[in-house]
Amino acid sequence: MASTLCSTSTSHIFSSSTLRRRLPLVGAFCMLSFGLSNICSPFYSSALKTGCVQSLLGSKFGIHSKSTIRMEGSNTTVPSIVVYVTVPNREAGRNLAESIVKEKLAACVNMVPGIESVYQWDGKIQTDSEELLIIKTRQSLLEALTEHVKSNHQYDVPEVISLPITGGNLKYLEWIKESTKE
């Protein structure tokens, strides 16, 4: 019904050559006016749960939810990062994760089991089962976190890599700040 309403109303307003040039714009307007759920409900409902639609609309049309924020625009948050660290097994991961949170070097550590790493070491290709720690913390704590991991890790050269958090749920970003040391 939404597509019928759009095409009927546009045929009276535009000539056929203008309509061909403006059809993508009219289609986008109709999607926004009549709601994405009426046009593509299976995609929309699953994308809404994961935040994909908000992200897509936010990047294309400047539509942002009140619960999200860009990091540089807030005085209640601090520049934050996600840090990846691999560990050889669950016990080592749990011990390291608990010590990181206890020392307030991170607000949260997710433990992701069952990854397989392929890498070159001592001139040979190696394949190992590992677990991945996903650590959320302040950017200012990266050096202390890295030293902590190096001091408490079984590997000679543990993986410690960071990625910036450029935005997200304001309450969660505030929680990262409140849960970590300054």
pLDDT tens for each residue of 26-45: 444 444 444 443 434 444 44
Task: Tell me if 84 sits within 8 A of 133, measured CB to CB.
Answer: yes
> What is the distance of C-alpha 41 from the center of its chain?
24
Task: Tell me if 158 sits within 8 A of 93, measured CB to CB.
Answer: no
Same domain, 105 and 133: yes
Same domain, 133 and 166: yes
Find the mean pLDDT for residues 156-182: 96
10 Å Cβ neighbour count for 153?
19
Q: How many domains does the chain have?
A: 2
- Which domain-ending residue is among 65, 87, 104? 65
Same domain, 166 and 102: yes
The average confidence (pLDDT) of the chain is 76
Cβ neighbours of residue 18 closer than 8 Å, sequence gap 6 or more: none
Question: What's the CATH code of the domain at 96?
Answer: 3.30.70.120
pTM, whole model, 2 decimals?
0.62
Same domain, 38 and 94: no
Same domain, 167 and 141: yes
Cβ neighbours of residue 129 closer than 8 Å, sequence gap 6 or more: 114, 115, 116
pLDDT of residue 55: 45
Same domain, 101 and 162: yes
Q: Domain range spanning residue 112? A: 73-179
Instruction: Check whether 98 has a pLDDT greater than 60.
Output: yes
- Which domain-ending residue is among 22, 40, 65? 65
| Percentage, residues of the chain above pLDDT 70 | 59
Same domain, 167 and 125: yes
Spatial distance between the Cα atoms of 152 and 100, rounded to a whole number of angstroms? 10
Same domain, 41 and 81: no
Least confident segment among 17-21, 59-63, 80-84, 167-171: 17-21
pLDDT tens for each residue of 126-155: 999 999 999 999 999 999 999 999 999 999
